[in-house]
């Protein structure tokens, strides 16, 4: 009896495609977990402002200074971290960042005194420098360009999900173990994620190869600092700064701000903030589908910005019932999330191959610059009884981000 091939065998091309997709899925999953943890780090302190402030006997501005130290360290060192990602490899940098982040959060909980807390947050900011350069470098190098928008959206979704669940997670842990116990729980989560990357991270590239870089040099295409200081990259830096200033006001001061303006209970404002963050996460997934289907990313951003600014104005001037506030912030969060993959695609469109680490590291510094200024500015306004001004400034930065996106010169797409 002659042998026949199994009718269920896939053609070689189909098998290769399925294998590639399976590898891409694993890469995205690992990067998403790491990005989730990074946003837990970022959002850990705001829900616990009251407890931490009382523990150290300091003002809102002084607690905000810990966030400023975090963002100052990230702003100063994120671009060098991007160069290191391109040079020594994103996998090792990402794993090291998770370990350092876990140790920094543990130090913030265990070391005595306010200034040790600030120093620990500065080291947490150092750990934060690796995520965007490493994540975007890995995704850009391993994911097919036809699916890169969705990959970016899942990456950003994981970050927003981390931000969205952290207020409830932090308050639940603090209710059982105090704020220090909440910090130690998050430190353990960070170390466990680093261990996951060590065990399963062989799927990630050690070094991102740089095809075309020599050709880019020979053709006169900008590289290194010349690339980072070019007008398209600086425009994206400003864009990220505006987003940080806007989101910093909404994410960090909605709960205490709404309490002072309208007497909104902390519990209601916290649910509304979680609705904003969680719906932002859902909006990111929808935004990823949109980003893969349109080259007009600035138009997507314009619609989202118009709706988010309307939300901020209503929060400042209209005393809404709790259910209405929650619904408003949830819808605003959904539209805010839709913007995010288009944001990343706008950066990718002006980035040459082999430079994703340094470019995403550099433009992400805009987040850190905003993070340095926003807590001090908004904390000062809170201490001086001007919470409504926070939402007005947020609206101003949303409009500036809109102008930055709409007036950019449309670049040529890259594969």
CA–CA–CA angle 43, 44, 45 (5° rounding): 100
pLDDT at 219: 46
> How big, in percent rounded to 5, are the helix, strand and coil portions of the chain?
85, 0, 15
Residues 6+ apart with CB under 8 A from 240: 343, 363, 364, 365, 366, 367, 370
* Residue 319: Cβ within 10 Å count: 12
Give 89's Cβ-side CA count (13 Å radius): 10
Per-residue pLDDT tens for 51-77? 888 888 888 778 888 888 898 888 888
Of 264, 252, 247, residue with least CA distance to 320? 264
Per-residue pLDDT tens for 228-285? 888 888 888 888 899 889 988 888 788 888 989 999 998 888 889 888 888 888 888 8
DSSP for residue 411: P
* Residue 325: Cβ within 10 Å count: 25
pLDDT at 302: 79
pLDDT at 160: 77
pLDDT at 360: 77
Contact 183, 106 (CB under 8 A): yes
- How would you class 148 by CB atoms within 10 Å of its CB: exposed for 0-12, middle for 13-18, buried for 19 or more? buried
Place of tokens 């837990």: 40
What are the angstrom distances between the C-alpha of 343 and each of 21, 218, 227, 359, 374? 24, 30, 19, 13, 21
Place of tokens 């680490």: 357
Written as six digits, the tokens of 161 are 């999900």
Which positions of the chain have pLDDT values less than 50? 1-10, 12, 211-220, 411-415
């Amino acid at each position: 009896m002659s042998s026949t091939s199994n009718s269920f065998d896939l053609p070689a091309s189909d098998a290769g495609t399925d294998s590639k997709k399976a590898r891409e899925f694993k890469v995205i999953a690992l990067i998403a977990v790491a990005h989730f943890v990074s946003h837990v780090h970022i959002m850990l302190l705001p829900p616990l402002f009251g407890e931490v402030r009382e523990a150290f006997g300091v003002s809102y501005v002084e607690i905000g200074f810990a966030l400023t130290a975090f963002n100052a360290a990230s702003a100063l060192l994120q671009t060098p971290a991007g160069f290191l990602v391109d040079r020594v490899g994103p996998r090792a940098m990402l794993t090291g960042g998770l370990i350092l982040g876990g140790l920094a959060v543990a130090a913030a909980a265990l070391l005595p005194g306010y200034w040790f807390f600030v120093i620990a947050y500065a080291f947490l900011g150092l750990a934060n420098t690796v995520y965007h350069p490493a994540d975007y470098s890995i995704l850009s190098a391993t994911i097919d360009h036809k699916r890169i928008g969705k990959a970016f959206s899942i990456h950003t979704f994981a970050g927003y999900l981390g931000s969205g669940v952290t207020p409830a997670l932090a308050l639940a842990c603090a209710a059982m173990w105090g704020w220090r116990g909440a910090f130690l729980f998050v430190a353990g989560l960070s170390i466990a994620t680093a261990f996951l990357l060590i065990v399963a991270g062989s799927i990630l590239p050690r070094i991102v190869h740089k095809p075309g870089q020599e050709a880019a040099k020979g053709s006169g295409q900008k590289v290194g600092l010349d690339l980072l200081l070019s007008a398209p990259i600086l425009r994206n830096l400003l864009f990220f700064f505006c987003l940080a200033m806007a989101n910093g006001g909404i994410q960090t001061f909605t709960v205490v701000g709404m309490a002072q303006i309208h007497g909104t209970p902390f519990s209601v404002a916290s649910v509304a903030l979680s609705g904003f963050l969680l719906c932002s996460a859902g909006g990111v997934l929808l935004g990823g589908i949109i980003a893969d289907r349109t080259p007009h990313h600035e138009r997507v951003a314009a619609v989202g910005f118009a709706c988010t600014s309307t939300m901020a104005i209503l929060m400042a001037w209209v005393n809404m019932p709790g259910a209405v506030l929650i619904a408003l912030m949830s819808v605003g969060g959904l539209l805010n999330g839709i913007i995010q993959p288009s944001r990343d695609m706008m950066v990718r469109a002006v980035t040459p191959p082999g430079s994703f680490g340094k470019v995403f590291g550099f433009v992400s510094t805009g987040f850190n610059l905003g993070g340095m200024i926003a807590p001090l500015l908004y904390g000062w306004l809170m201490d001086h009884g001007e919470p409504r001004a926070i939402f007005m400034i947020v609206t101003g930065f949303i409009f500036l981000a809109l102008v930055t996106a709409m007036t950019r010169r449309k670049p040529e797409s890259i594969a």
